[in-house]
Structure 1
Amino acid sequence: MSGALGSPRLHRRTLGSTNARAQELAAAGAPHGTIVTAAEQTAGRGRQGRAWSTPAGTALAVSVVLRDPPPLVTLAAALAVADVAVALDADGRAPAIKWPNDVLLDGRKVSGILAEGRLQERWAVLGIGINVAVPAETFPPELRERATTLGREPGDVEEALALLLAALERWLEAPAPQLLEAYRARDALAGRTIAWEGGSGVADGIADDGRLRVRTDDGGERLLDAGEVHLGALPR
């Protein structure tokens, strides 16, 4: 996998899902680095089937076609979003990452990341949404304790896109040890008690293959895969 991200670009004023459109393009042979963006996304999806909406003109919604994506692609995406937050957060908050790819500011989620694709055909689509300029008061009541925004202006969405693509290029090309070291430095779960379907324990860092290492209540160790577990809420 090599090459710059961001060209060609398909942009729509309103789109149901940038990921769905990017998958169509990838299946039709779109080159590595193709992106789909939308000023408003009406049917976006997050991990585990959750909805991720993009209010018109105030959030970044982009999906990137990746050919031969690396194994740690979602961790790379989280680090790229964290770099954007460092550069643009109006309050200067330090980002942390709740495994596998929830980027948090003061314990609240500022972005959504979803990787989908056909690995047998050696491509994936990486969808990323960032609350760049979403007014905090417009979050639905059920999200106000769990979501946040960078607090920027609508005109900053394009800057966020440029920063994100540049950071994503760096992390996708980074050697795995360098990527894991940076990710572990932002690990929001380390040392915290967590629960998942069928068990509980204490988060004990990130394994070299990107799975979450957990010390179980019976003194053992378990490696959790992102596609198989539902983590309990992160204490604030």
Structure 2
Amino acid sequence: MLTQAEVHWIELDSVDSTNDYLSRAYQQGRVSGVAAVLANMQTAGRGRGGRVWQAQPGSGLCLSLGLPMAGLQMPFLPLCVGVAVAQVLEQWNVPVHLKWPNDLLADQQKLGGVLCESFQTGQGAVTVVGIGLNIQPVDVPDALSGRGATSLSNYLPASSMPSSRNLAEQVVFSVLRWIDMASVQGIDAIFAEFTRRDSWLHNPVQVEDQGVVCFTGEAMGIDRQGAYLVNTEQGLRAVHAGDLSLRVRL
């Protein structure tokens, strides 16, 4: 059970990317088991598609969690992590929704994101889960986020804002707990919780390939293979993460 594992914490003032730092640490044998890296500042963080995710000092949660497992062991890991983070933030009444495959939204604006990367080391398979959350206001182009970005500071007064370490610890415990639950109960629990927060569901959407619209339809949710279903005039079509982009059709 991952929730019973001792988490090896590494705190850094500044780093290029928490995911890259932790990946190097595993590959060089400097860490093993479950490990977490928390940085105050990130200069070359990465999002989906290689997009840059920078964080000025104290402006965001820059967290990566290393797990001794292959990503193929849990193909729904990004969804599981999204649900886990959402549950943490909901305790402060932050209205979190999840945008497939890996974004966290609040009031339809980007609040954070998840990036899962797997690789082999001399000790076996490892998956690093990167979690970024905006704590203070940031400037994210609408083209990347849909409707700009938001931050926890828009929902929590300074007196109620948790410290980065406290927030990170709650997020890590929630992620480990959800992975354990999914391992025991299967994917149905994740499906139900993701669907309840699905920001696409029943909205008109368009599917794009490098900016070119391929087809349009109604968002119908995820299937058992982790693809997103769109009901088009020609019937249901599945969209796979990394292949195409799904956007709300205005």
The one-letter code matched in structure 2 to 1:140 is: D
For 1:142, the equivalent position in structure 2 comes to 141
Residue 5 to residue 149, structure 1, CA distance change in 2 (3 Å):
farther
CA distance in 2, matches of 1:211, 1:129: 23
For 2:224, the equivalent position in structure 1 comes to 208
The one-letter code matched in structure 2 to 1:212 is: Y
Determine whether 1:167 maps to 2:174. Answer: yes
Corresponding residue SS for 2:237: strand
For 1:178, the equivalent position in structure 2 comes to 189
Deviations 1:100-152 (A, max 9, x none): 121111101111211112269532111001112x1x3xx23736942111114
For 2:205, the equivalent position in structure 1 comes to 194
More strand by share: 2
Residue 2 to residue 166, structure 1, CA distance change in 2 (3 Å):
closer
Structure 1 length as normaliser, TM-score?
Answer: 0.87
The one-letter code matched in structure 2 to 1:208 is: R
For 1:128, the equivalent position in structure 2 comes to 131
Q: Tell me if structure 2 keeps the 8 A contact 1:3–1:33.
A: no
Corresponding residue SS for 1:23: helix
CA distance in 1, matches of 2:243, 2:43: 27
Q: CA RMSD in A?
A: 2.3
The one-letter code matched in structure 2 to 1:185 is: R
For 1:113, the equivalent position in structure 2 comes to 114
Deviations 1:9-40 (A, max 9, x none): 22210101001011112223432321111100
CA distance in 2, matches of 1:147, 1:205: 23
Q: Mind listing any 5+ residue stretches in structure 2 that lack a counterpart? A: none
Q: Mind listing any 5+ residue stretches in structure 1 that lack a counterpart? A: none
Percent same amino acid among aligned pairs? 27
Residue 93 to residue 57, structure 1, CA distance change in 2 (3 Å):
closer
Give the superposition deviation at 1:6: 6.8
CA distance in 2, matches of 1:122, 1:141: 34
Q: Tell me if structure 2 keeps the 8 A contact 1:6–1:35.
A: no
Determine whether 1:26 maps to 2:33. Answer: no
The one-letter code matched in structure 1 to 2:141 is: E
Determine whether 1:54 maps to 2:49. Answer: no
